[in-house]
Structure 1
């Protein structure tokens, strides 16, 4: 695979190859571009330019035109961004409508693979792998961090990829379980290291507090059990909840299998069913609002909840401080399951699509240089995350960054009256992701650093090989995917909640096959074999 990956990267980096005729002649598209732009260079357009960008408007830090981010970005780069703001709740639907109608902005961020697949056959988005020679920082990080296998998973049947992903130097595990450590102390129990040990903890909590559901979860809208199924599934070697994919790579068999009918998926269901059946997991975890889950935790009706670093600091601890000042909530390393001590996180994050119309712009090269700088250069990533040195942060001789006295974010400077995201527009999910390990961890508290050290010491999961479908195949599987996913989702909940006996598992698998699960996987494995043959 390493040999294949290296060959594929060469294919992708050859931006001006004969396979990429559109990339050959850019002589009419260089207005505003720097004649010499390389790794580490500060990008400044040679004339004022403006680019439209689809903007995911986050309710936690609503868009403000007066943010320092916008003015400082223009000051540094000579680029004015024109955001087309869309509410977070409508982002995916609105993006699809705009791209489908040919009205999408030039730059389209916050796209999670494989969402870009839906736009490839229409020609509405650019095969960005044809233009990597315009993006020296991106190429440099791919090569230095050995990200070829991950990049290859984005490739389509034509050997190209259509999404510029966020790149991490190291996997970043974000989600796990938060547990009331004071209750553990009260019961004389250690922090659980495995899902089986967590079961034992929940049993002890239930025995002491019989009116409670020890584990009551959030993040179940719009995906029922989205976070819970994801983190348990990862530990069981499968994909569920937020990260559900129809096909899962089996390294032992060297084939893809259907996720929702795999032995690992069943094991995950059996574990969660046991928790529900014994009153350890709140059955409302799969339907309740985030607010309801938070209230149960704050009121002592539950003691365990899914979490990441920000929600631990911004939501749960302030909630508990008002109602139970003695409570101590900690995010524990992802409990270990049958898959072993793994770090399930990817080194790729959501990414950026480029509208095909942008290729026609006289400023196209300048735009690609700008995208490379803001998303992939060390300086651009630091700017997007931390802001302006001396205004929002300071840096000591050793390179350690510190928020200035009056600026706060993620609880690092709680006395600060100004917020890095809300008042300045930095650390914004539209622009700020990926990067070197020290930058990625630069906002982490000491306890989050401990969490990351444990997770980074674990073995990364194997990157699945490419299995890109042709347009015809994708059109076929698109007819199967929704009915299959709906059936998996509905029956996953039924099995877990005891509304359908696990004795009917074989019947459920037969139902999936009646909905073309086997044909689906046969197509994926055929695509995998074809891609290896064509590009190996």
Structure 2
């Protein structure tokens, strides 16, 4: 997801104080939450650098996103070692990856969710704030020394400000990266580039040229097919192309995008830049350079087309390059080579577009009345936010699953693989041990993030990190009344944008009808909605600077 704008991103230390403390609509800090009655099992002097261990055995239910690539096993070393280190037993409430968001919403809305609700991306918590179903976690940060320490040292206050609600609090403990990390991009058959004498495309115009050359050489094939179009049409591809034009699309589509020239938010789906994204993708479809099924097909279809040699370009991330493409492709197509290329650039230039916030944790509001509440917050702080906890979740047990050399470099045990670090190993860190699990292992220092990266991936990161970083959008939190009003408009607007984006790209609707499409959005309260966003942004700036 993307949280960017051209606005000055660094907010002063005064704003940092507001972020950590939370504040009311009148700008005053609330009284510290009273947790004196809920300290059973908690450590008396827990602080930065300390191993959390409950003073008595305790357990908590946790909503568990059960990934199909490494489905949960009760005998994982992760569960055993976690209890050994912390005296806490987690009881996973398993939900399949494919149903996670829907099931999470039903559980939270009905009050039946576990106390700990991880794998929630920034913005997804907004739906649950007004009902009181989730905890205003910013009221309890004094129980989380590692979280506070990373916010201070990494100057995370601009990003955290984007998560504040109109009451001055935030309701999600997000995962935090030390620096912006770009992972999703395109994978390209480099053996085909070499055969045709082509360079790796650096811009989207270059990609068009490459696809044209591939089409000329292989006229009966679509040079590009794509994945990640279900449930969000064009998920990754729309996101990347939209970024290149200075707007949002696909996975990171939001109705409001900051317009630096106007100094206010614009409605994303009606922006000229959004139209430019559509025009580019329509050109690819019209000239048969991309498979028209790309934007909505199932992943397995897309992967099969690519790994069988029927197409040469597809969306990827580091893990998919290794797990989904390289091995199967090399077995199927003799001499095939595939690489993850730096994100192509567009009119906005050489920006690294991304966010330092990751998926994070909601806490059920029931938790504050649990006698082990303080211990739970300390436990969450250690596992998800301490250097030691993050290392454990990612790598496992030193001497068993990995070793470290004198320079602090990590090395997987010889018989264990993950992301192709030990190809052909008999065991897998995620599948057989439960480490490197996306429910628990994300965020942290750049060194930890890159500790599993291959030399190939490090080269990709070096290219991306050399680009300029785009700062954070101005916050625009809604009041409960505003959120209630906006909710009535958001879904019809989103549906109309999604449907017509596909129609324009596929040629089912003529781009000459763009003005009519914008008028249709106006009839669905587009202008009223964006006025509400700008009023909220102005109010926040007036009250908080």
TM-score clears 0.5:
yes
Q: 1:493 to 1:452 in 2, by over 3 A?
A: same
Aligned to 2:4: none
- 1:75 matches 2:111: no
Shift of 1:254: 2.0
> Is this contact kept in 2: 1:206–1:280, CA < 8 A?
yes
Q: Could you say which residue in structure 2 is the equivalent of 1:529? A: 538
2:180 aligned to which of 171, 175, 179:
171
In structure 1, the residue corresponding to 2:90 is in which secondary structure?
Answer: strand
Aligned in 2, Cα 1:146/1:4: closer, same or farther, shift over 3 Å?
closer
Contact persistence 2:23–2:167 (CA under 8 A): no
* Aligned pairs for 1:174-213 within 5 A: 174-213=183-222
After alignment, is 43-52 or 391-400 more displaced? Answer: 43-52
SS of match in other structure, 1:192: coil
C-alpha distance in 1, partners of 2:284/2:426?
43
Distance 1:3 1:486, change over 3 A: closer
After superposition, the Cα gap between the structure-2 partners of 1:384 and 1:519, relative to the gap in structure 1 and judged at 3 Å, is: same
Q: How do residues 227-246 of structure 1 correspond to structure 2 at under 5 angstroms? A: 227-246=236-255
Q: 1:529 to 1:5 in 2, by over 3 A?
A: farther
In 2, distance between residues paired with 1:391 and 1:524? 52
Q: Which residue of 1 aligns with 2:279?
A: 270
The equivalent of 1:100 in structure 2 is: 109
Aligned equivalents of 2:367, 2:101: Cα separation in 1: 21
Counterpart mapping for 1:453-464 below 5 A: 453-464=462-473
DSSP 3-state at the match of 1:177: strand
Is the Cα contact below 8 Å between 1:434 and 1:440 reproduced in 2? yes
1:314 to 323, 328, 351: 323
Structure 2 Cα separation of the partners of residues 237 and 386 of structure 1? 37
User: Is the Cα contact below 8 Å between 1:202 and 1:280 reproduced in 2?
Assistant: yes
The size of the alignment, in residue pairs, is: 535
Could you state the TM-score of these two structures normalised by the residue count of structure 2? 0.96
Counterpart in the other structure of 2:153: 144
Query: Is contact 2:22-2:170 (8 Å) kept?
Result: no
- Residue 119 of structure 1 deviates from its aligned partner by 0.7
**Alpha-carbon displacement from aligned partner over 1:199-228 (angstroms, at most 9, x marks no partner):** 101111001110111011111111111111
> Residue 422 of structure 1 aligns to a residue in which SS?
helix
Residues 16/241 of structure 1: CA separation in 2 closer, same or farther (3 Å cut): closer
SS at match of 1:122: coil
1:20 aligned to which of 30, 36, 40:
30
**Contact persistence 1:15–1:131 (CA under 8 A):** no
Tell me how far apart the structure 2 counterparts of residues 467 and 530 of structure 1 sit (CA, whole Å): 8
1:16 positional shift:
11
- 1:11 corresponds in structure 2 to 18
Return 5+ residue gaps in structure 2 as ranges. Answer: 1-7
Matches within 5 A, 1:507-526: 507-526=516-535
Contact 2:416–2:426 (8 Å) recurs in 1: yes
Task: Measure the CA separation in 1 of the matches of 2:64 and 2:425.
Answer: 27
1:465 has 2:474 as partner? yes
Counterpart selection for 2:69 from 36, 55, 60 = 60
Q: Secondary structure at the match of 1:442?
A: helix
Quick one: which of 281, 291, 304 aligns to 1:282?
A: 291
- In the TM superposition, residue 294 of structure 1 has moved relative to its aligned partner by 1.6
CA distance in structure 2 between the aligned counterparts of 1:31 and 1:134, rounded to whole angstroms: 14
Q: Distance in 2 between matches of 1:2 and 1:483?
A: 32
Given that 1:12 and 1:130 are in contact with CA atoms closer than 8 Å, whether structure 2 keeps it comes out as no
Look up the SS of the partner of 2:403 in the other structure.
strand
In 2, Cα distance between equivalents of 1:450 and 1:185 = 20
Match of 1:114 among 120, 123, 134: 123
Report the Cα distance in structure 1 between the residues aligned to 2:454 and 2:331, rounded to whole angstroms.
22
Measure the CA separation in 1 of the matches of 2:311 and 2:33.
Answer: 61
**TM-score normalised over the length of structure 1:** 0.98
Contact 2:9 2:472 in 1 (8 A): no
Contact persistence 1:165–1:349 (CA under 8 A) = yes
Cα deviation, residue 325, structure 1: 2.4
Q: Tell me how far 1:415 sits from its aligned partner.
A: 2.4
Q: Check whether the contact 1:298–1:323 (CA below 8 A) recurs between aligned residues.
A: yes
1:359–1:5 distance in 2 versus 1, CA, 3 Å = farther
- Deviation, 1:5, is 5.1
Q: Could you tell me how far apart the structure 1 residues matched to 2:296 and 2:21 are? A: 49
Q: Secondary structure at the match of 2:258?
A: strand
Change (3 A) 1:16 1:121: closer
Do residues 415 (structure 1) and 424 (structure 2) align? Answer: yes
Equivalent positions of 1:122-521 (< 5 A) are 122-521=131-530
Q: Secondary structure at the match of 1:291?
A: helix
Maintained 8 Å contact 1:62/1:422 = yes
What is the alpha-carbon root mean square deviation over aligned residues? 1.4
Q: Deviations over 1:24-79 (max 9, x none)?
A: 32211111111111111111111111111111111111111100001100100111
Is the contact made by 1:420 and 1:427 (CA closer than 8 Å) also made in structure 2?
yes
